[in-house]
Amino acid sequence: MIYILQQSLNALQLGSIYALIALGYTMVYGILTMINFAHGDLFMVGAFFCFIGATYLKLPFVPTLLFSMLGVGLLGVVIERLAYRPLRQAPRVSAVITALGVGIFLESVVLVIYPYPQHIPTLIPNVTWNVGGITVSSLQVIIVLLSIALLVMLDFIVRRTMVGMAMRAISWDRTVVPLMGVPVNLVISATFFIGTSLGAAAGTMYALAFPVIDPYMGILIGWKAFICAVVGGIGNIRGAMIGGFILGIVEIMVAAYLPSTYRDFIAFTLLLVLLVFRPYGILGKPRPQKV
Amino acid sequence: MKKTALMFSLLMIASMILSACGGAAGGNTIPVGGIGELTGDIPAVGASFKNAAEMAVQEVNDAGGLEVGGKKYKIEFFIEDNAGKADQSASAAQKLITQQNVVAIIGPNASRYAIPASEIAESSKVVLITPWSTNPKTTLDANTNQPKKYVFRACFIDPFQGRVVAKFALDNLKATKAAVLYDVASDYNKGIAEFFKQTYEENGGQVVAFETYTTGDKDFTAQLTKIKEAQPEVIFLPNYYSEVPLQIQQAHRLGITAPFLGSDSWGSGELLSLCGSDCEGYYFSTHYAPDNATPVAKKFIDAYKAKYGSTPDDVAALTYDAFGLLWQSLQTAGKVDRQAVRDALAQIPKYEGVTGTMSFKEGSGDPIKSAVILQIKGGKFVFFANAAP
């Protein structure tokens, strides 16, 4: 029993990071119907911003987190402005290829600056508590609570604010909404800012939990988070959160009870099966193609 | 437009053919190839390799060249980056053999890159000496399980290293219950983990958890929680220096207090900076101990320090030895010829290297040599014990 609780805690930590990254994919898709394949690499850049903030600027935890979120959020806006906006009317495959290119560009730039894996200093003192046999670390608590706080905040922004309403309107219909006086470009920029800064928050927390970072760390995580977004129903924000936690739980539980070699194999088989029965994801709805 | 493109590609092909035929062999230089992990996931290994290789070549050239069969030859060194990829290792070997016409190749270092490159060298009948690849498969033919004829190494092999660590855990640490966590997608980690398990169990120990992950994983909490449940007295991590700090830190966060053991992949200075105080007091087996050096080793360490400002790690030392082996076999062969170098290398009776004395016997590319156990103490690698073959 204690063992399963301990593993659930591990799953919660991993799942909340996946959920935060998955949100970036789903938000961009929701508004532009485009998959931002550079998102995993923006997550990596977030981890490196955390490294810069903590090592060179010697910032404590909260300013480091804000520094990373702000920096990467602005980077996301710039990328959208320079790389994606000129292609908004182009065939969708051009945008996807551009996104892949942006991802490789980010990896290469970071590789030139930091060719070696870097070590993140300890920002949160490592305290472990023993709660009825379960070992809980200060870091785990912070990661889980902070992720949930960010998720709740995002849900509030999207559902209860004007920007959120505009986002939802644009994702509903991108041709008519501008005619109503909604500043589309501004809203899209805001979406990129929020989506990538959540990715940066995930990157920062990931870097604190697993303090060895390298320029390629975002690739596999990015794929996994993308799959979470698809499983949850791409374009749906709550779906991305659910998808993230599902993958976290499945991955940890497979490694906990079966030979860990099977982990990715079983996790992705389960997700495939799920998609067979719900091709639009758990919370996704079919979008009829408008002719 | 089309015509220009055609002309251009014809020119390209022609120049490629010409350069392939021209080669660098003959004349007054000996072309030697090197393949290193200059970028990718273990760039510190590549950097040490490059430093030591350039130093070994420069020493010979500064002395006026290498005397082979009464004539002095300068060494021409071509270094290729495999970018930490198996396919690029193979294509780098191909390029060095066909385009640069090298007499021999030194590298790659990690087994997962050395194995594909060695296949190319073997089929092209060119000597390849890997400094640091300890997996037995590197020098064995995958189909016949017979030793490869042209592939050699400067280091000991994993069965030996697995045995050394298993014995150390049993005899020195008096631990009878061990756990292992290793990268199942990497030949090196997998091989050594299995040999550790085998020796440990044959000698009365019990492996209570044998857990795996795949290259690139960062979250090991599920496996470590499982290991914690099994209550081992010692945990063996035969993994690369970039992953070990994560594993140990996560283990500490889960409240694991058992000591950790490692293999020669720990021996990079990077491990110390990545790990901080978390690795303090743990042990690993490796090729040489800079603080317990022989006169030959001392000379190398001092020269390396003077040139690069840091203590050479095991990769640098083994790379230097791999070049030393090549120089000695070129001199024994008495001519610059791929086959003659191979024959001389295969029967080197004694080579006094930085990493100890080694010898080769016809029928195996693995040298006979000993290992050392180091301890991490005060943020440094400190000599702890010797382990004879």
Both B325 and B256 in a single domain? no
Domain boundary among B256, B286, B316: B286
Q: What pTM does this model have?
A: 0.77
d(CA A9, CA A140): 8
Q: Is B68 helix (H, G, I), strand (E, B) or coil?
A: strand
Interchain CB contact of B286 with A (< 8 Å): no
Interchain CB contact of A92 with B (< 8 Å): no
Q: Which two tokens stand for residue B297?
A: 């080793």
Which residues form the domain of B314?
29-156+294-369
Interchain CB contact of B84 with A (< 8 Å): no
On whether residue B357 sits in a domain, the answer given is: yes
On whether residue B324 sits in a domain, the answer given is: yes
Both B165 and B251 in a single domain? yes
On whether residue B13 sits in a domain, the answer given is: no
On whether residue B72 sits in a domain, the answer given is: yes
Both B91 and B182 in a single domain? no
For residue A86, give the DSSP letter: G
> How many degrees, rounded to 5, is the angle at CA B156 between CA B289 and CA B382?
15
Q: Which domains does chain A have, with CATH numbers?
A: 2-277 (1.10.3470)
List Cβ neighbours of B182 (8 Å cut-off, separation of 6 or more).
B189, B190, B192, B193, B211, B212, B213, B237, B238, B239
Q: How many domains does chain B have?
A: 2
On whether residue B389 sits in a domain, the answer given is: no
Calculate the alpha carbon distances from B19 to B10, B89, B121 in Å.
Answer: 14, 21, 20
Residues of A in contact with B249 (CB under 8 A): 211
Identify whether the C-beta of residue A201 lies closer than 8 Å to the C-beta of residue A65. yes
Identify whether the C-beta of residue B106 lies closer than 8 Å to the C-beta of residue B32. yes
- Per-residue pLDDT of A13-23, as tens digits, reads 999 999 999 99
Packing angle of the helix pair B295-308, B314-333 (nearest 10 deg): 110
Tell whether ipTM is more than 0.85. no
d(CA B115, CA A55): 38
State which residue of chain A sits closest to B209, comparing Cα positions.
A259
d(CA B114, CA B125): 16
Packing angle of the helix pair A217-232, A92-113 (nearest 10 deg): 150
d(CA B179, CA B182): 10
- Per-residue pLDDT of A131-157, as tens digits, reads 888 888 888 899 999 999 998 999 899
Q: Are A216 and B229 an interchain contact pair (Cβ–Cβ within 8 Å)?
A: no
d(CA B126, CA B97): 8
Both B220 and B125 in a single domain? no
On whether residue B384 sits in a domain, the answer given is: no
Q: What is the pLDDT of residue A110?
A: 93
Q: Are B214 and A137 an interchain contact pair (Cβ–Cβ within 8 Å)?
A: no
Q: Are B225 and A210 an interchain contact pair (Cβ–Cβ within 8 Å)?
A: no
Of A10, A128, A214, the CB nearest to B225: A10
- Per-residue pLDDT of B212-269, as tens digits, reads 998 888 889 999 999 999 999 999 999 988 899 999 999 998 889 999 999 988 988 8
- Per-residue pLDDT of A36-74, as tens digits, reads 999 999 999 999 999 999 999 999 999 999 999 999 999
Handedness of CA B299, B300, B303, B308 (dihedral sign): negative
Both B247 and B313 in a single domain? no
Interchain CB contact of B310 with A (< 8 Å): no
Output phi, psi for B141, to 5 deg: -70, 130
The CA R_g of chain A, rounded to the nearest whole Å, is 19
- Per-residue pLDDT of B43-99, as tens digits, reads 889 999 999 999 999 999 999 999 998 899 999 999 999 988 999 999 999 999 999
CATH number of the domain that B141 lies in? 3.40.50.2300
Both B146 and B34 in a single domain? yes
Calculate the alpha carbon distances from B331 to A67, B53, B68, B325 in Å.
Answer: 60, 19, 5, 10
Pairs across A and B, CB distance < 8 A: 86
Tell me which residue of B73, B63, B138 sits closest to B322, measured CA to CA: B138
Both B177 and B282 in a single domain? yes
List Cβ neighbours of A194 (8 Å cut-off, separation of 6 or more).
A27, A73, A154, A157
On whether residue B186 sits in a domain, the answer given is: yes
List Cβ neighbours of B160 (8 Å cut-off, separation of 6 or more).
B371, B389
For residue B55, the number of C-alpha atoms closer than 13 Å in the C-beta half-sphere is 25
Both B278 and B171 in a single domain? yes
Both B234 and B304 in a single domain? no
Interface test with A, best of B253, B270, B275 (most A CBs within 10 A): B253
Domain boundary among B252, B286, B320: B286
Query: First vs last Cα of chain B: how many Å apart?
Result: 67
Both B141 and B223 in a single domain? no
Residues facing A136 on adjacent strands: A129
Residues of A in contact with B223 (CB under 8 A): 255, 260
- Per-residue pLDDT of B289-314, as tens digits, reads 888 888 999 999 999 999 999 989 88
On whether residue B375 sits in a domain, the answer given is: no
Q: What is the pLDDT confidence band of residue B15, given thresholds at 50, 70 and 90?
A: low
Residues of B in contact with A3 (CB under 8 A): 225, 229
Both B215 and B140 in a single domain? no
Q: Which two tokens stand for residue A178?
A: 């501008």
d(CA B158, CA B285): 11
Domain boundary among B249, B267, B286: B286
Both B76 and B87 in a single domain? yes
Query: First vs last Cα of chain A: how many Å apart?
Result: 55
